[in-house]
Chain A
Amino acid sequence: MPTWIGQAVRNGIVTTRYPEVPASESEIPPTGRPPVPTQGPNSLRAGVSLCPVGAISERAVDQGKCIRCARCLPGGFEFLGPVEAAVLTRSALAAEESPGALSRPIPPLAPLSRSLHVFLVDAGSCNACNLEVLALTNPLYDSQRLGIFFTNSPRHADVLLVVGVPTDEMVEPLRRAYDALPAPKAVVAVGVCAISGGAFAGIEGLHDSLDQLLPVDVYVPGCPPAPVNVLDGLLRATGRGRRT
């Protein structure tokens, strides 16, 4: 007769060892990595017309806009960027020496060097980012082992994790959530919707980027970012992110 304990023993330990070891292929699908031009400026020039969201310019790829739709692949791009793509400034996502800039070591946000309590706010997402963020609590990622916990109230949290493109309707609730967070606090924008509007940039009634509304401390690009990408972003807030 099967039992829960038997089931648990049979399955063994499934938890990833990230960030001690690099993310495995199963943990990070191709689209979990930023696209990089394989033929330098030629790729970039070809990519400008292929990109539906205007993430590619002749000088660099703006990872804060890229929705990983793969349309640029015929123009000489590959999903080969680093898994650790989270950054502390918006401009670093569009840096010219991308993707090297993405993995530069970054100092922790001073007061948040240890355990993090995270409050998730959906400002207007498609639900994929929500599910990827919450997947961190499943046994395969087990964010608790790294001291990352999700709270039920912003009043218990250190970090406001925002997903989705902020809609007009969510501006006030978002502001209330931010105000309810006790200082010191940090804001983590997860997914390109929160960073630049992503696929929804430019629609009337939406706020293309979260940093127009709140001071964002960490940007996690991706559409949606895979759980390890989110984990990297949260670890970066504590200065414990994996170096590449």
Chain B
Amino acid sequence: MTVNIAGVVLTASVAAFFVGALGSFIDRRIGYLASSAGSVGLLAVAVTVIVGGSVTGATWFGPLGASEGLSLDALSAFFVLVASIVWTATSLYSLAYDDRRSPLLAVTYSLALGSIALLMSASDQVLFLIGWETMTLASYGMILQAHGRGDRVYSAAFVFLAFGEASTLFVFLAVAGFWVGTGTFTFGPHLGPGSLATLVFVAGLIGFGLKMGIVPFHMSEWLPIAHSSAPSNASAVLSATLTLAGAYGLFRIVSLLSSPPLWWGAVMLGIGAISALLGALFASVSEHTKGLPAYSTIENNGLILVALGVALLAESDGLTALAVFAVFAALYQALAHAVAKTGLFLSAGYIEHTSHTFDLNSIDGSVKEGSPGEYAGTIAAVLSLAASPPLAGFVSEWMILESLFQSYRFGQSWVQFVGLLSGAAVALAAGLILVAMVKFAGFSILWKPHASTPAKRTPGLGAVVAAVGTIVVAVGVLAPWVLRFLAPSASAVLGANVSAPVGSLLSVPADWSILSGSPFGIMSPPMIPIALLVGATVGAGYYLLGRPRPRRRVKLWMAGSPPGEPGQTYTSFAYSTGIRVMMSSVLGTREVRESQGPVAVAGVHAGEPYSVDLEVFDSFKLFYAALVRIGNAISDALKAWIMPGRLGRYLAYVLVVVVAVVVYVAAAY
């Protein structure tokens, strides 16, 4: 028997996080270093698995007598791969970022990473559930480490915990349903169609959806991040990989349920499209350097759902080619989002470090003075999230829209209609998220004057952001090769061997292009930079060899007023007020005015100064407020009815239970 090196590395890597968590009590750097090492180890194993096949790590016998332990197949390996890329970046970043916080941050951080690694590499569903629950608890601890603890932090963390526990409950339900149907906790056998499968699907969609922050559970995503202003490394982990865990769960469920009915896909598609639209809308009116990316996460997870929904619909309808393409799109979306979003949160951390603010309106120019790496990395991440070619986000957005364009192929007209509406929503979301991303880049870096005082230089942070930016570019430009690399993972989802949707057209080299169904769209990401490069070369040559032309250089013109007067610059808030006003019915925009009393100059009425606040309101808050009220009412009623505080009643309960047990045991034997 050969030594299973990959299995050993897998086990050691997962263990490294937990060891690091303990070590953080001594020195927080131990935790971050151990996390970095664990991430790199996981990265290596994941690549090995995708290229070479499944790997099994340590196994033991679980409480229910079944064998359980760590193992990776092509599907889980994909998610471990994405997560480990993110973690490598955030852990190295944390070494420079976290220099004065409580060691508990490093402890909970390592613990959260370890839990996610555990649940993703769990070979069976019980271990998965254990990892799922520790992930929730560790993340709760992480959110509590925010600056300036107060009611906001505690209530935000509590909301996170409440949603997290609700999520565990539904995931538990899904696992139980699966066990009833198949009699096993392993990820092997498929569950055939039926009411049990429907239960598993619905419970899974809700349970994992809660973690992905899709509508109507989006509070679980933005609220803890924005309201508590959680530490940036924690935000990146929460937004990029905690939601990734939810996506992993969803992919797993889809892969384990065979012959899905049409409405599953339609529901996923619809919810995904609404999430994408609302996420993008709220992102575009957010003024918080972390709230904005958090809302964007809702949009991106919605897009994953959209792609999966199309895949399910296509599978139900027998459109295999479309199903394959949509699954690739979903995987690509998960990858593109996680990496770019990490870049954005790390950039927000950089802004926090230099400008000491989370408010896009009050960022000063010192961010601009920082490092070129931070600058370039942020731009790459922002452009990718805004789906600009040739970056990662563009490829996935293109693939998702291409699969939606093909909804005309569906057999039933109502499905076509759902596809059409979802396509419109996704396209609108793409437009709105562009506003949000331009706003983030513009008001944090691009449109800022240079600061008068030199910024505090923290090259480590900038370097990590730059590295993330490089990955974003590479994943975009090298898309055809990445897709081929992902073929085993897609096969795992579909349960059949599929090849990447790549091909060629005209004089583009073979397999340099992405094909969305043979007679449909084609796009070649590597050709875009090449075309840009050729264009730039021609332009430069023309400029250098041609007749020298005078440069027309002019100064900034502000209608004759001196430019750059303080208080006269466009605010980030004003940039998106148009959307606040136009979409007021969705955003619940309302203006609050407060008069400061009339003022007179030399006895003549000279106006009445007032303060003004234009507020937007997430109307789902009303839904949750109602839910809380109903919950309180029920518990009040139960309290009065079941627990009235009379001893006699409680003794009667005990008696009833004892009798019931006696009857059950007697009946069994």
Contacts and interface: CB of A to CB of B under 8 A. Distances in A.
Direct contact of A and B (CB under 8 A): yes
Nearest to A177: B560
Interface stretch (A20-28, A37-45, A130-138, A178-186): A178-186
A177 B563 CA distance: 12
Nearest to B553: A182
Q: Which of B555, B556, B562 has the most CB of A within 10 A?
A: B555
Contacts of A172: 562
A183 B550 contact: yes
A197 B517 CA distance: 75
Contacts of B550: 183-184
B337 to A, nearest CB: 40
A183 B552 contact: yes
Interface in B268-309: none
A180 B554 contact: yes
A86 B560 CA distance: 28
A153 interface: yes
B520 interface: no
A155 B557 contact: yes
Residue from A172, A176, A177 having most chain B Cβ neighbours under 10 A: A176
A222 interface: no
Contacts, number: 27
Interface in B538-590: 550, 552-557, 560-562
B562 A176 contact: yes
B552 A176 contact: no
B560 A179 contact: no
Contacts of B561: 173
A21 B554 CA distance: 39
B552 A180 contact: no
B560 A153 contact: no
Contacts of B562: 172, 176
A141 to B, nearest CB: 27
A176 B554 contact: no
A139 to B, nearest CB: 29
A154 B557 contact: yes
A183 B562 CA distance: 21
A155 B560 contact: no
Interface string A162-195: 0000000000110011011111100000000000
Nearest to A174: B560
Nearest to A180: B557
Contacts of B553: 182
Contacts of B556: 180
A182 B552 contact: yes
Nearest to A173: B560
Interface string A181-215: 11110000000000000000000000000000000
Nearest to B563: A176
A176 B560 CA distance: 6
Interface of B: 550, 552-557, 560-562
Interface of A: 153-155, 172-173, 176-177, 179-184
- Nearest 9 pairs of A and B residues by beta carbon: A173-B560, A182-B552, A180-B557, A182-B554, A179-B555, A155-B554, A180-B554, A155-B557, A180-B555
Given A180-B555, A182-B554, 18 more contacts: A153-B557, A154-B557, A155-B554, A155-B557, A172-B562, A173-B560, A176-B560, A176-B562, A177-B557, A177-B560, A179-B555, A180-B554, A180-B556, A180-B557, A181-B554, A182-B552, A183-B550, A183-B552
